[in-house]
Structure 1
Amino acid sequence: MAEPSRLATPRLRRSRGRDPLGLRRALSDRLLPALVAAMALLAALALAGARGAAELTARWEAGAAAAMTVQLPPSAATGGRLERALAALDAMPEVAEARVMDGARMQALLRPWLGEAPAVSLPLVIELRLAELPASPEVLAGRIGAAVPGGTVESHGVWVARLVALARSLQAVALAALVLVAGIAAAVVAVAVRAGIAARRSAIALLHDLGATDADIAGRFGQRAGLLVGTGALLGTLLAVPVLAGFADLAAPLLGSQPAPSLAALPWASLPWAELALLPLLGAALGWVTAQVTVRRWLRRLP
């Protein structure tokens, strides 16, 4: 048996394009890519959800959390009270900018509730932009209230903290879903490879007896599985792109943008293109590694 053993290994290596193990029939090029495409679509959605939650968290922390408002009665517009309040606020080191809200903007904000011409006198609102996020919004609100007697301080820190906690929770859930999808994909590939091994058991055992190494056999399964999984991941990623663009358009108001007026104007540039481009590559690598591990474990049991 020594002579066939020396000839079998080179033959297996030279005939990679001839599929001596019959893997094109053993590993279907329809079912596995379709399953992986569905999982890649879910992975892309989870990935985009994690990134969107991170962007919302950063925007809320740097935006609304770093802003406060001070309300004064309408009578503060006379007697220099408003000017004294602005001077006191500008003198505080925590305040980067203090400005009075424009009347037109105030009416625009209140129009959904009070109509075009509100019958009540509107208070004066001073918008504050803080130099940095306060460690304790309540303490800062107390200092501002002391600097502006009679003013009502509104701090956004409480509800922003809750929104940030919610966004971070959603980000953690999205990342957990991404890990779960990867685990399910690996399990699906392992099952498909085991089915391929069962279908070609005799041929694999024969080539192994003739001298084909574990690396040769596992490499062929890895190449086939990597190709199928990578193809399925690419298809799922392409299907995810318009879905993600639609979701990004729905979330545009939360990020300070306007919804797109047409399909061509969707926020395509805001999609996580770098991460999406990696999905097919990561899918192919996952398929290759899973097939290698599965086949090598099976080959170790051979006599």
Structure 2
Amino acid sequence: MADGARRQRLRRSRGRDPLGLRRALADRLLPGLVAAMALLGAVALGGAEGAAELARRWQGGAGSAVLVQFPAETPPARRDAALAALRALPGVVDARAMDRERMAALLRPWLGEVPSLPLPVVIELRLASLPASPAGFAERVAAAVPGGGASVEAHGVWLARLAALARSLQGVAMAALLLVAGIAAAVVAVAVRAGIAARRQAIAILHELGATDSDIAGRFARRVALLAGAGALAGTTLAVPVLAALAGLAAPLVGGEAAVAEGLPWRGLPWTGLALLPAIGAGIGWLTAQIAVRRWLRLLP
């Protein structure tokens, strides 16, 4: 009966903060540190999303890695001979002549609606893999064309390499995000240990009165989750205009004026990830507090 009464009194005291956690876990230092981590995490998340967008756009422009151009008056027989020779080149998966509609679509961003003027004959080459030397490969393509006189553009090779670089940057940004999460967990663990040290006597008394490890760890976890979630929300809110400004600076790389017309920089922000950051911050705080407090409580006699 006495033990049951102690447990009942403990339950009634939940709202009265018997451990003094409002004093032990300050509502300024920990949220401020978590806000800084959330800001860094949001920037890393935005960097990963931006790198992925760059990779998608550049990869789309690298579908035809090499373009071979002939004068508009090139007869069909010579075009067909060039197609046969180019398809026989090592490393070339396919070679096809570009029709007028596709060429007009490629020229439209610079010339608008293309008038009914003679357009050059263009052959698209699709490659099995990126050549080690784009310039050397372009020279081999030009030499393989019967009769010469062809102009070779290997810009797609460079676009494909830029896309690979963007994917690497995406991986680096995600690694930075994980590092920030680890640092945030370490910061929370230090704060929890400081709170335990400040309320050591009160924790020991409650433990002797019958409070379970779950009760005490739950009190710490709820307080830390509240502070960490509030800090993460503040940091994420501060990160939104920063990310919008960075996205505006990067707009020329992802479409220029077209990107602005599509609603960038605001539309291009990783809104889903940003919305999840406060919940993730609170979750990290709750889990870290649970682990730290339970490990300390195991050492009590």
The reply to whether TM is greater than 0.5 is yes
Q: Describe the shift of the 1:97–1:241 C-alpha distance in structure 2 as closer, same or farther (beyond 3 A).
A: farther
1:252 matched to 2:251? The reply is yes
Q: In terms of mean alpha carbon deviation, does 17-26 or 158-167 score higher? A: 158-167
Distance 2:82 2:202 in 1: 83
Q: CA deviation at 1:88?
A: 6.3
Equivalent residue, structure 1, for 2:152:
153
Equivalent residue, structure 1, for 2:114:
none
CA contact (8 A) 1:89 1:95 kept: no
CA contact (8 A) 2:251 2:264 kept: no
Equivalent residue, structure 1, for 2:223:
224
Equivalent residue, structure 1, for 2:94:
94
Q: CA deviation at 1:175?
A: 1.1
Equivalent residue, structure 2, for 1:54:
52
Q: CA deviation at 1:252?
A: 1.3
Identity %: 61
Distance 2:53 2:259 in 1: 19
Distance 1:190 1:181 in 2: 14
Distance 2:242 2:123 in 1: 38
Equivalent residue, structure 1, for 2:116:
none
Equivalent residue, structure 1, for 2:90:
none
Equivalent residue, structure 2, for 1:41:
39
List gaps (5 residues or longer) in structure 2: 88-92, 112-118
Equivalent residue, structure 1, for 2:183:
184
Equivalent residue, structure 1, for 2:25:
27
TM-score (norm 1): 0.79
Q: Describe the shift of the 1:261–1:47 C-alpha distance in structure 2 as closer, same or farther (beyond 3 A).
A: closer
SS at structure 1 position matched to 2:49: helix
List gaps (5 residues or longer) in structure 1: 110-123
Equivalent residue, structure 2, for 1:288:
286
CA contact (8 A) 1:70 1:127 kept: yes
CA contact (8 A) 1:245 1:268 kept: yes
SS at structure 2 position matched to 1:248: helix
Q: CA deviation at 1:221?
A: 0.2
Q: CA deviation at 1:273?
A: 0.6
Q: CA deviation at 1:8?
A: 2.6
Q: CA deviation at 1:15?
A: 2.9
Equivalent residue, structure 2, for 1:302:
300
Distance 2:300 2:268 in 1: 52
Q: In terms of mean alpha carbon deviation, does 162-171 or 133-142 score higher? A: 133-142
Q: CA deviation at 1:165?
A: 3.0
CA RMSD, Structure 1 to Structure 2 (Å):
3.2
Distance 1:166 1:127 in 2: 28
Q: Describe the shift of the 1:60–1:215 C-alpha distance in structure 2 as closer, same or farther (beyond 3 A).
A: same
Alignment counterpart, residue 15 of structure 1, candidates 13, 16, 30: 13
SS at structure 1 position matched to 2:257: coil
Alignment: residue pair count = 276
TM-score (norm 2): 0.79
Distance 1:241 1:285 in 2: 21
CA contact (8 A) 2:36 2:235 kept: yes
Q: Describe the shift of the 1:149–1:29 C-alpha distance in structure 2 as closer, same or farther (beyond 3 A).
A: farther
Q: In terms of mean alpha carbon deviation, does 217-226 or 244-253 score higher? A: 244-253
